[in-house]
Every structure is written in structure tokens, then in C-alpha cells.
A and B are shown apart, each in its own frame.
Chain A
Amino acid sequence: MLRVSAVAERAGVPAVSLVSEGFVGQARNTAAGIGMPGLALAVVPSHPDVQSDAELAANVANTTLGMVVDGLTGAVAEVGALSEPDPDAPVFEGTYDEVNRFFTENLWSDGLPIVPPTRERIEAFLAFTDRPADAVLGNALPDNRAATVWSVAVNGVMAGCRPEYMPILVALAEAMVDPAYGNEHSGNTPGAETQIVLNGPLIKQLGFNYEQGALRDGVQANTSIGRFWRLYLRNVAGFLLHQNDKGTFGGTWRVVLAENEDVLAEMKWPTVAVDAGAPEGANAVSVARYTGAHVVVSVFGRTAEECVPYLADALVKYTGWELIFTVGMANGTYRPMLVLSPIIAKTIAASGWTKAMLQQALFEQARMPARLFEQYISGWTNLVPGRRSLFDLARLGKAPKMFGASRDPERLVPIVFEPAHITIAVAGDPLRTNCYCLTHNGMLGFPTTKLVALPDDWRAKLDAARDA
């Protein structure tokens, strides 16, 4: 919405942005990030969704309208010059405690102590990539900052990573700045959090936990790389609480999920990365933003057919407003993920099922009444205006025909466009029958996979790092 105004302004057309009262702070910061801090705002008091028609009309007439007129006809706001530190020179010198106080005061830390990013430590990280320190990986939105190999190393040091994690950190930064991922939406109000999935030989080489407690903090590789992601979001992309990060509640960053590739190989199932197009056996990171996660406890069954109904039920039960990413706001971009514990995955595979067969069965069984789907996208939420039924949306070409097979409100409709849109991962305690269901934030954190590039002398450097 502010980006629209900025595009118009750059084209020489005055613009004003309509924002609710609670959005003003983020709007000011987003405008500065865009490079146009003087963008005009017109405020709707409180939040429109909780106002009666009369209250809304009065607020628009008494407050918003005047700000619209002033914003489009008033004086142009003056813009000051931007002054920031030189990334190539030390920004501070001090003891460990002083450094941490300085970083906390400048909002460069996540609230935990950071490892001081000294040149010696940064250079140890840079030694684990063949790319030059000043290489620009992309533009980090919404703050519009260059994502460089150098800044990856600085934040990797701060997060408590080891230097040999650097190839993974670079790949993650590349994923973050990929426009397909939609990083500029990472501060949206649902407060979704990114889940990183790692595949490839690096899982074992770097000691990632992929078994019991796979999503728990406590293992340096999984934990510190998860922390790196949020530090990079904070420092380079510019997501700060009360500024660009408007998560209503938010959540702590997620540790890296490493798949159990031994079990996957045993079952001849592809990894998450291979499903996304990575070559077999490649090191790769996959990221997507998830609005929530729920454990599916004690899956009971001796066959695939017996296990699937409960898993399908979880996919339906935990999906609500996210359906606007199936039909409504960004059609076909909803990608929920099920993490199967190895024993459940092997039980399903032992029935002769491939991963594709499981996805097909889940697609067919994870369905809900059309009337409930419509409530999530336009009744209870008002996120798809006009209160159009799924039948009408399908008839108008705004949804696939399978969503409008009849007008029966009780007919069952799928929660995704196609079976492959249900991501399946395998990890966790090998002998526990629990699974995990993550609901997805659609195009506002779309699944993005990047290959991990290792330096030419990776093995030697890794051996040296282990001995250090």
C-alpha cells in the first residue's frame, strides 16, 4: 500500500496512503525504508474491522478525509539527509559487556548477548566462502539495504554460529532477498515465523540434530542458524518491533529443521529440497513462513490408510484464515507442511506408498465444507470483500472449478490447489508416533529453495575448523 504510493510519487503523481491508527508507526518506518520518509498518510482511527458503519463513516468524515486533502494538496514534507556508519570501519570499541550494551541500545541485538563481531571473527567466516566480502546477494526489503557476504558474516558471528556454517548462511540470505519469497511482508500482523529446512550431506558434516527434539533449541548448528535468520531480518531487512515488525503476538525464531535423510533414502522418498527442484544429494536450504505449528499426537495405524485420516484432519483443523492463500488474496500459494516422525513415515511407506501417493491421499481427505471455507476468507475475517461464495468465485474464474462444483454449502472442498502443495518432511524422534503440522503464510513467505555453495577446499577447511 505504501509501495503503491512510493511508485506513484516517483512517477511524479502525488499520493496519500490510508492507514489505520495502529499502522502509523510501521508506515513511517516503511516509508523511510522505501527512501521516501515524507509519504503522506491519512489515518482511519482505531481499526476499521471493529467499527459500526456509523462509527466508520464518522471517523472517515471527521479525520481521514481532511488528512487526504491535506496530504494531496499541502506542502511537501522536507527530507533530511541520511547518515549511517561505514560498514568497513569499526563502529565501536569496548569490552564484551560494553559491546553488548552498545548493540542493545542501538537495537542491533535480539535481546540475548551477541558474540562481538570483530574483524578476526568475521574473516574466519569469510574464509568459508569463495565469494568476495563485498558481493551483493540482493536487496533486503523493506529497509532497502544491500545484503552482502560481509553482513552475513557479521550477523553469523553475532548469532553464535561457527565459521563453517557460512555457506549455509549465504544461501539463507539469498533466499531472504529472493523476490519470490516476499520478505517485505515478514512484519505482517499474523507474526508468522520462518522455518528453515536443511537437506544434503552438510546435515551430518556439521552435526545438525535431525532426530529426537529436532525442532528444539540446544544443538549449536540448528539453533544458532535459526537465530542468524532473525538477526539478519532485524539488522539488514529492518524488521524491528514497534517499527516494521507488526506481528500482533509474534513468536521466537525457529531452529533449523534438518531432515532424516537416512530414513528418506531407505523409503526412496525425495527430500524437501528435491521436491523443490534441487538435484539429488545437493546441499540446500528451503525457507517458508508459517503462521503456526501444532503437534499431531499419537498417530495410530499399521497402514498408510489408517494413518492418513488423522493427518488430513490436522491439516484441516489447523487451517483458518490462511485459506485466503488458496482462494482469495493470492490463489494457490498456500503450502502447509507436515513433518512426519520416521516411524510414521516408514509405516506409510511400508504400505507401498510414495510421497506423491501420500500427498494425493491427503489432498483428497483434507477437505472442509464450502460454507466453513467461505467463513474463513470472507465471513469471519472480511479478507475477501463482497461475500462471494466459492461457487461464484469459481464461476467468475477467480478459483479453480473444483471449488465450485455445486452450490451445496456442505460440499467438501480442498484446502490447497493440488497434492504437491502439501509439503512433507521427515524428522524427529525415530520411534515416536507424533507428527507436526505447520500452517503457511502463502505468498507472504512463499517456499524458496537455494543451493548451498561450498568453498573449493571445503573438506580441508572443515577438518581444520574441527581441530581448532
Chain B
Amino acid sequence: MSASPEIHAVYWPRGRKTVSFAPTSPRPGSLEGKTVAFLWDYLFRGDEIFPMIQQGLAERFPGINVIGYDTFGSTHGEDEHAILAGLPDRLRELKVDAVISGMGC
């Protein structure tokens, strides 16, 4: 008769989350008259896609105001930490109502 196999009490290999789940911000019902900021990582044809989106938004919401990505600089590169750290102030300063961020590929 063989011996009983050893039983191991083992521990979770992950770690406690340092952030808790949060909901996103309340949305406006429309983008009419709103200021929308484009933020870009300067990759994957964003220089072609953002103008298409801008045109499409302008057709749907004639009073929309767009702030281009050059206002902020590349969000993926040697300056990304600094740009992210300063972004809340920059959005307030520019009275931004909504953000479109790209390109994740």
C-alpha cells in the first residue's frame, strides 16, 4: 500500500492591486459646442485618421471645437511621463470637454 501523497498549502503568486476600480466621467449628451482635444502617440497613421475624425465630428456637430495633437506633443516617447503628469492642468487650462487618444495598434 503506497503512502498518501504530500499535501501542499500554497500561496497566491500575485499582489494586491494598488488602484481600485473607478467609473469613467459623466458624459455630455452631445458634442455640440464642446471642445475636443486630440492626443496622439505619433504612430500608426494618426496623422491621417485624426483629420478624418475631425471632419466627421464637424459634420455631426457643427459647433465643435478641436484642439490638435501638436498642442500636447507625442504621448509615447521620451516626454510621455512629463506630458501625462501635466495633462490634467493642461486640459483645464484649455477648457477641454472631451479627449480622443490614439493610436493603439
Let me know if A40 is at the binding interface, CB within 8 A: yes
Tell me if B71 is interfacial: C-beta within 8 Å of chain A: no
With a 10 A CB-CB cut-off, give which of B6, B15, B77 has the most chain A CB atoms.
Answer: B15
- List B residues 36-65 near A (Cβ within 8 Å): 36, 39, 41-49, 52-53, 56-57, 60
**Segment at the interface with B among A146-154, A200-208, A215-223:** A146-154
Interface flags for A370-396 (1: CB within 8 Å of B; 0: not) read 000000000000111110000000000
Residues of A with C-beta under 8 A to B49:
18, 44, 48, 56, 60, 64
One of A74-82, A298-306, A353-361 at the interface:
A74-82
Contact A35 B76 (CB under 8 A): no
> Is there contact, CB below 8 Å, between B21 and A79?
yes
Decide if A91 touches B44 in the complex (CB within 8 Å).
Answer: no
Instruction: Give the dominant DSSP class at A's interface.
Output: mixed
Interface residues on B, range: 35 or more
- How many residues does chain A have at the interface if contact means C-beta atoms less than 8 Å apart? 105
Q: Are B57 and A48 in contact (CB under 8 A)?
A: no
For the complex, give the distance between the alpha carbons of A364 and B51 in Å.
42
A278 on the interface (CB 8 Å rule)?
no
Contacts of A122 on B, CB cut-off 8 Å?
11
Q: Report whether A36 and B24 are in contact in the complex, using a CB–CB cutoff of 8 Å.
A: yes
Judging by beta carbons under 8 Å apart, are B10 and A139 in contact? Answer: no
Closest chain-A Cβ to B8's Cβ sits at a distance in Å of 4
Question: What are 24 of the A-B contact pairs (CB < 8 Å)?
Answer: A20-B103, A23-B105, A35-B22, A36-B24, A48-B45, A48-B105, A49-B105, A64-B53, A76-B25, A79-B21, A79-B22, A82-B17, A94-B10, A95-B6, A154-B11, A158-B13, A179-B81, A231-B13, A236-B14, A329-B42, A330-B77, A331-B78, A384-B42, A385-B45
Give the interface of B toward A (CB within 8 A). Answer: 5-31, 36, 39, 41-49, 52-53, 56-57, 60, 74-78, 81, 84, 87-88, 91-92, 96-105
- Not counting A38-B24, A49-B45, a sample of 10 additional A-B residue pairs whose C-beta atoms are within 8 angstroms of each other reads A11-B91, A14-B99, A36-B23, A57-B52, A74-B27, A77-B23, A102-B10, A118-B9, A151-B15, A155-B13
